[in-house]
Chain A
Amino acid sequence: DTGVSQDPRHKITKRGQNVTFRCDPISEHNRLYWYRQTLGQGPEFLTYFQNEAQLEKSRLLSDRFSAERPKGSFSTLEIQRTEQGDSAMYLCASSFEGVNTEAFFGQGTRLTVV
């Protein structure tokens, strides 16, 4: 397994457009996380999955954000009607279930909304 992979690595979009990001986790991992990170800040939790079930979505997240993990494998994060404030690095991570298991991160997708 080559680790967590994210696609695309970079995305530039015009304000108001929809964008979709993909994350392929480590295949044995049942947990998958999405985070947003802006420059100089820590990863901000967005949502996470146990297999195909979405366990929690951040209350700070607007309805323009949606995530799926249809077959418990890869996941997509969609942002509708993008705004300039959505510009950030979007990180995906995966892990086993369990308090003592670390998360492994992908390289992230850098979104720029112009």
Chain B
Amino acid sequence: AQKITQTQPGMFVQEKEAVTLDCTYDTSDQSYGLFWYKQPSSGEMIFLIYQGSYDEQNATEGRYSLNFQKARKSANLVISASQLGDSAMYFCAMRGTNRDDKIIFGKGTRLHILP
């Protein structure tokens, strides 16, 4: 069975600092995808970034980058130069292949950006 673990229930970060949100996963699939979503207080789920298990380079999308360490089964999200609008819940998610390709989510990390 696949599993996503996010061990940081909450984080406080000063505005303009970089922040790393941790995510570890477990799967027996060789091919899988890892995703990060943002959920502001308004409730919508916003897709941020994707990393494929066979991608050789870490994914980047603007201020978001993914520190992918396959051997350690970790896929940490790095937000550079944090902004007040980054305050939200952040979820790591995974999608496998073959017969178990549903998307599963971790419990999330609540990020607070301090002015």
Contact = CB atoms under 8 A, between A and B. Distances in A.
Question: Bound pair: A and B?
Answer: yes
A99 B35 contact: no
- Chain B CB count within 10 A is highest, among A33, A105, A108, for A105
Interface string B34-70: 0100000001110100101100000000000000000
A40 B50 contact: no
B43 A99 contact: no
Contacts, number: 58
A43 B105 contact: yes
B115 to A, nearest CB: 23
A16 to B, nearest CB: 27
Say which size band chain B's interface belongs to: 20 to 34
Interface in A70-114: 89, 91, 93, 95, 97, 99-105, 107-108
Given A104-B47, A105-B44, A108-B43, A42 B102 contact: no
A108 B91 CA distance: 16
Interface of A: 33, 35, 40-45, 48, 55-56, 89, 91, 93, 95, 97, 99-105, 107-108
19 contacts: A35-B105, A40-B108, A40-B110, A41-B108, A42-B6, A42-B91, A42-B106, A42-B108, A43-B105, A45-B104, A56-B100, A91-B45, A97-B101, A99-B52, A100-B50, A103-B35, A103-B47, A105-B44, A107-B43
Rank and list the top 9 A-B pairs by shortest CB-CB distance, nearest first: A105-B45, A42-B105, A99-B33, A102-B47, A42-B107, A42-B108, A43-B105, A48-B102, A99-B97
